[in-house]
A and B are shown apart, each in its own frame.
Chain A
Amino acid sequence: MTAGLSAGIAVDIGLAALVAAMALWTITVRDAYAAVIGFIGYGLLLALVWVRLDAVDVALTEAAIGGGVTGVLLLRAVGALHRGAAPLEDGPPPGPATRRIAALACAAVAAGLALVVLGVSGPAPTLAPLAAEHLPATGLENPVTGVLLAFRALDTLLEKVVLLLALIGIWSLAPDGVWGGRPTLGRPGQASDTLRFLAQLLPPVGIVAGIHVLWVGADAPGGAFQGGAVLAAMWILAMMAGLAPVPAIGRPWLRAALVVGPLAFLAVGVAGIFIADGFLAYPPAFAKPLILAIEAAITLSIAVTLAMMVAGPPQRPDAP
């Protein structure tokens, strides 16, 4: 028992040191490409940290979003910078005074955070027992899903809207001439045989896995975000290999898929005013089916939103 405990502590210390070293390396390395690779490794290490904290839901999300989708997004951003249409206009480099003030401000924030974390006495206040006590009312068995979709549903709803806003931000970078047109992913018509092979073999498995992750989310680690990220990855793969066309951003079906999740969430939430106790409340008899329906719609929206984020702003007009 003691040996197992100390081995666990050794692993934790090693992990923490690795995370800190990786973070430091990511922000100090000069090459943007290397920094992105460091960031992806950092995300995967963080996922391991969450596993060690028994937060498998968060670990799955961190691996899929923090390591996976964000990594691809950043890699594409670095690629776009290297193709370098126009070099960024840098102002004069900050003087020593500015640097010192910035360093002092950062150190003050770090010291404040350290004080707050170290100053907490006794067990931190927690709502976990309360959440666990009321979980049966939702018909779910995974407390994380219960919190996300029942107890703190408003947060989750707003999260989905933020995701949509981010996509609108990306789309707003499109030049006027190609508004409503198609983004480009990969080099059209030049995908290698290997990529096409992978894109033919993996998606059937990946789509089943994504839906499985969504479905088990009610009772075990998993859920809409993780499942949606897997589905998005499969679609991105097919688009990069040229097996599926990249849709024009003006297509009505695409717009519908983007908003169906938040809209379904909002509709059930508003219905809660009339058939249950209030906004975003579920009638107890239908709590689980309603939550699953919302999760399914959200998964679709998340998958489409993430894939379109990676695809980026449209670059060519929507030719028939």
Chain B
Amino acid sequence: MMLSFDPIWLTLELAILTTFVLTLITIPISYWLTFSSFRYRFIIEAILNLPLVLPPTVLGFYLLLVFSPNHWFGGWIEKLFHFRIAFSFFGILIGSILFSLPFMLQALQVGFSSIPKTHINTAKVLGKSKLEILFRVILPNCKPAILAGMILTFAHTIGEFGVVLMIGGSIPGKTKVTSIAILEEVEAMNYHSAHIYASVLIVISMIVLLVLFRYKRSVSMVFAEKD
């Protein structure tokens, strides 16, 4: 029996890209959510945190519906780019970005709101713009929170299963990630291969956690506030 390393590379690729994209888009979102005085902000917060409580298969199923050429969105994409999002790496990337968003968001918001108001006010008084405050004051002070968010997102995506199962279609080298490969090997009663895939996942997760704990003094604050 041949054991392919494709699923493992794919999992790592997915986890790295998800973490990268989420870091980029979650910083402005958290910034706005933390410092805006918009009255109905809580609604946005609730929506963005929905994947935290929603079963991943539900999210996956609706994404599958939206990505299909029968739906206006999927149909429009297909017409414009001759590309179907379902069953593509891009599709499972969108799925895991949506699914892991709350994890990054939680970590960042805790970090952002822990910055003393006086720091921000001082910067304002000195005439700094909002962007300058973000890059010069907030982000440098939030490094542990950002790191914690990235690690959580990465670890979470490695274990991601339901969303990918629903919209991926288990295409080798394209959407068949390790968790799906494990399911298939177990169902085919190839327990040996399943063990190998599983142990690779365990080792990777362990390394990620080790990094987390190496910096635990600064990161633990983020976790402590989450409790």
Instruction: Answer yes or no: do A and B interact.
Output: no
- Interface of A with B (CB < 8 Å)? none
